[in-house]
Amino acid sequence: MKKLTPMLKPVLKPLLSLDVVLGLATALALSGCAKGPAGGPTTPQAVNRMTVSMTLQQPVNPAYFYDFAFDDNGVESDGPVALVGSSSLTNGVVGGSFGVLVECLGGSRFNVYRRTRVGNGENLQLVPNAFVTQPALVTGTTIIFTLNLDATYTDSATGQVMRLFRSPSGGFPTALDVNFVTSDEQRRDPNNNLPKTFDAFFDRASSRYLTIHSLGTQTITNADTVQEPANDVTTADTTGRVNVAQLDIVDFQIDIVRS
């Protein structure tokens, strides 16, 4: 199994021209603990898995959006990034390139999507069996979920069974570009250029992300990679309407287990 060296990669592309989105879902479990499924089917026996944990400065806000994007296209220079202004993307939170999106809505609803189309309107296909165990309701500051890295779905357009995570050739991906993005809104208005409130990986950055160069068994920590700080939420809000502490990513960890 390969040794992985998480690396940081700045993204050069402007976001506005990129249409990408992913939604994802979640699973709980730090190491396969069996929480009763509360939603769709899960695969607790899955060996190849990725547990994601993200901590906010203050508890999740039921009205806010917490998105986790993973890009497996083999290109390290194209995202995922945070949406910062106008957008026509369905997900309204994450731009740039990504293949898998886990969307946590207010800490209570989790969706996992495969992005199947970007041009001519973003299309996100819901993948119902992607969590190892159904993610728990989040009432505190930490969102945790575990994805089955071998999850598959039937493409609604072609009828073909596809891997959720896949390399461009269709096999298991060898690398992932990763970004976590939070916002108080899903921006889906191409004519709304008001600055969007968000936090994403790195200090006050919208277009930098983490590249995991190998998907072997490993633990990736914020301290060893992004060093995501507190108090770096980007916002133009001066009214106090937005509680930025509930959007402020202060820590994360990614645990990958491969057989």
DSSP state at residue 20: -
- Smallest distance, Ca ion to C-beta of residue 221, A: 15
Region binding Ca ion by CB under 5 A among candidate stretches 7-15, 171-179, 216-224, 247-255: 247-255
Helix, strand, or coil here: 131? Answer: strand
| 248 is a contact residue toward Ca ion (CB under 5 A) | yes
Tokens matching residue 129: 């069996």
- Closest by Cα among 132, 141, 178, 140 to 26: 132
Backbone torsions φ then ψ of 244, nearest 5 degrees: -65, -25
Closest approach, Cβ 229 to Ca ion, in A, equals 6
**Measured from the CB atom, is 150 or 232 closer to Ca ion?**
232
Closest contact distance (angstroms) between CB of 91 and Ca ion is 19
Residue 11 interacts with Ca ion (CB under 5 A): yes or no: no
Q: What part of residues 44-63 is at the interface with Ca ion (CB under 5 A)?
A: none
Q: How far apart are CA 76 and CA 175, in angstroms?
A: 9
Provide the minimum distance between the beta carbon of 85 and Ca ion in the complex, in angstroms, as a whole number: 17
Distance, CA of 60 to CA of 41 (rounded, Å): 25
Could you say which residues in the range 143-202 bind Ca ion, by CB under 5 A?
199
Q: How far apart are CA 175 and CA 220, in angstroms?
A: 13
Q: How many residues bind Ca ion (CB under 5 A)?
A: 4
Q: Which is nearer to Ca ion, 103 or 248 (CB)?
A: 248
CB-based burial label for 39 (10 Å; 0-12, 13-18, 19+): middle
* Contact call for residue 249 and Ca ion (CB under 5 A): yes
CB atoms within 10 A of CB 63: 11
Measured from the Cβ of residue 74, the count of other Cβ atoms closer than 10 Å reads: 12
The smaller minimum CB distance to Ca ion, of residues 153 and 202, is found at 202
Q: Write the binding mask 195 to 234 for Ca ion: x where contact by CB under 5 A, - elsewhere.
A: ----x--------------------------------x--
Q: Which is nearer to Ca ion, 122 or 199 (CB)?
A: 199
In the bound state with Ca ion, the residue whose beta carbon lies nearer, of 54 and 249, is 249
**Whole-angstrom distance, CA of residue 194 vs CA of residue 201:** 21
The contact set with Ca ion (CB under 5 A) reads: 199, 232, 248-249
